[in-house]
Amino acid sequence: MSNLQFLWFILIGVLFSGFFFLEGFDFGVGMSVKLVARNKRERDQVIETIGPIWESNLVWLITAGGAMFASFPEWYASLFSGFYLILLFILVGLIIRGVSFKFRSSSENAKERNTWEWALFLGSVIVPFLFGMMFVDLVMGLPMNASKNVMNASFTDYVNLFSIVGGVAVTLVSFLHGLNYLRLKTEGAVRERSLAIAKKLYPVLFAGLVVFAILAYLKTDFFTERFTSSLILLVLIVVFAALSAYGTYKDKEGLSFISTGLVFVGIVAFLFNGLFPRVMIAKDSQFSLLIENASSTPYTLKVMTIVTVVLLPIVLLYVAWAYKQFAKRVKIDR
């Protein structure tokens, strides 16, 4: 494995972390439209907190997909064709969610608005849930063949206890992350209600994390292959979750928000650490796809690295600037 290959493996992980950190709270906010807000004005308020920024957050996923295609075409090909139906419904979720913002604001009456609020809610639930499932399936291993394709996978390879727990976990963290974001970005009843709901959800999260850890121990080879690093990352996830809960009970919203974001980063790191040096785990381990044989050529990796080194800082600068412009709390009476 070359340095560049290793770097791009890490970068793909970074891009997915960025996606979950940023788009994660967008999903949570989308859920809150139905679960926290109680009337039109509150729903307007909730949606306005992400109105200007959700699109650029979504680009993290598009970039992760494009970067995966570019740096690890074999991984992209095996993963995307191997998770066909899951990805189809992820797309459906992203689509109904993506159009719902503009369609809602163009709606003429409460009934139309309600339709697109439901689209926003459903899309915001489906996408994190299915991503959670997909990543768990990925690390459990799939039936793959010598041509690197996922072949004859059964229903239970995709839908099983562990993958459902994974899906629920990611959805739950997204919701909490969204609640913490709303605490940070709103005033009035929405903020108070977000806090109250978050307080009730933390015990569920901790129970979920215990189940997740046990299943990870039983169903993956993470603890036989890389015991120490897996354990450290698992502990980190718990620490971030605890910090986030602490921030909630002590009413420190910034801390809560950063910490739920870091829980996502921790989960991605945990999964990528367990994957390494593989990118796709085959049930028959000789067919596992490795970083080493899944990547594009050194030349393409070099081009991509140069492009990224030049462009990413600029992107981060103006994205951060945009966030700063909309840093104010969203009031209810706007």
Partner 1 sequence: MDIEFLARFQFGMTTVFHFFFVPMSIGMAFAVAVMETMYVVKKEQIYKDMAKFWGNIFLIGFAVGVVTGIIQEFQFGMNWSEYSRFMGDIFGAPLAVEALLAFFMESTFIGLWMFGWDKFNEKLHLLFIWLVSIGTALSALWILAANSFMQNPVAYSINEATGRAELTSFVGLLKNHQLWVEYPHVLFGAIVTGGFVIAGSSAWKMLKNKDMEFFKKSMNIGLILGLVGSILTIGAGHQQMIAVANDQPMKFAAMEGIYEDTTSPAPWNIIASIDTKEKETKWEISVPYLLTLLGGEDKYIGMDQANKNLHDEYDAKFGSDVDYYLPVKTLFWGFRFMAGFGTLMALMAIVGLFLLHKNKIQNMKWLLWLFVAGISFPFISNTFGWLVTELGRSPWTVYGLFTIADSVSPGVSATSLLISNIVYFLLFSVLGYVMFVFCKRAVKKGPYYVDPSEAKKDGIDPFAKGVL
Q: Max CA-CA distance within the chain?
A: 61
Nearer to partner 1, 11 or 170 (CB): 11
* Interface of this chain with partner 1, residues 98 to 117, rule: CB under 8 A: 98-99, 101-103, 106, 108
- What single-letter DSSP state applies at residue 329? P
Q: Which of 253, 87, 74, 204 is nearest to 146 (CA)?
A: 74
Q: Which of 6, 17, 31 is nearest to 262 (CA)?
A: 17
Q: Is 146 in the site for partner 1 (CB under 8 A)?
A: no
Contact (Cβ atoms closer than 8 angstroms) between residue 226 and residue 234: no
Nearer to partner 1, 52 or 203 (CB): 52
Nearer to partner 1, 77 or 189 (CB): 77
Give the shortest CB-292-to-partner 1 separation in angstroms. Answer: 13
Q: At what angle do helices 84-105 and 110-140 cross, to 10 degrees?
A: 160
Contact (Cβ atoms closer than 8 angstroms) between residue 187 and residue 332: yes
Give the shortest CB-62-to-partner 1 separation in angstroms. Answer: 5
Q: Is 156 in the site for partner 1 (CB under 8 A)?
A: no
Print the binding letters for residues 193-232 with partner 1: x by CB under 8 A, - otherwise: ----------------------------------------
Nearer to partner 1, 6 or 103 (CB): 103
Per DSSP, what are the bridge partners of residue 144?
150
* Interface of this chain with partner 1, residues 48 to 67, rule: CB under 8 A: 51-56, 58-59, 61-63, 65-67
Q: Is 305 in the site for partner 1 (CB under 8 A)?
A: no
Options 161, 322, 329, 331; binder of partner 1; rule CB under 8 A = 322
Q: Is 299 in the site for partner 1 (CB under 8 A)?
A: yes
Here the tokens at position 287 are 């067919």
H or E element: which one contains 279? Answer: strand 278-280
Options 151, 159, 161, 207; binder of partner 1; rule CB under 8 A = 151
Q: What is the sign, positive or negative, of the torsion defined by CA atoms of 119, 124, 126, 127?
A: positive
Print the binding letters for residues 64-83 with partner 1: x by CB under 8 A, - otherwise: -xxxxxxxxxx-xxxxxxx-
Give the shortest CB-126-to-partner 1 separation in angstroms. Answer: 13
Cα 118 to Cα 115: distance, rounded to the nearest angstrom: 5
SS3 83: coil
Give the shortest CB-125-to-partner 1 separation in angstroms. Answer: 17
Give the shortest CB-319-to-partner 1 separation in angstroms. Answer: 6
Give the shortest CB-31-to-partner 1 separation in angstroms. Answer: 19
Give the shortest CB-121-to-partner 1 separation in angstroms. Answer: 17
Nearer to partner 1, 46 or 172 (CB): 46
Cα 88 to Cα 124: distance, rounded to the nearest angstrom: 15
Q: How many CB atoms lie within 10 A of CB 29?
A: 30
- Please spell the DSSP secondary structure of 26-60, one letter per residue: HHHHHHHHHHT--SHHHHHHHHHTTTTTHHHHHHH
Cα of first residue to Cα of last residue in the chain, in angstroms, is: 55
- Interacting residues toward partner 1 by CB under 8 A: 51-56, 58-59, 61-63, 65-74, 76-82, 84-85, 87-88, 91-92, 94-96, 98-99, 101-103, 106, 108, 147-151, 296-297, 299-300, 303-304, 307-308, 311-312, 315, 318-319, 322, 325-326
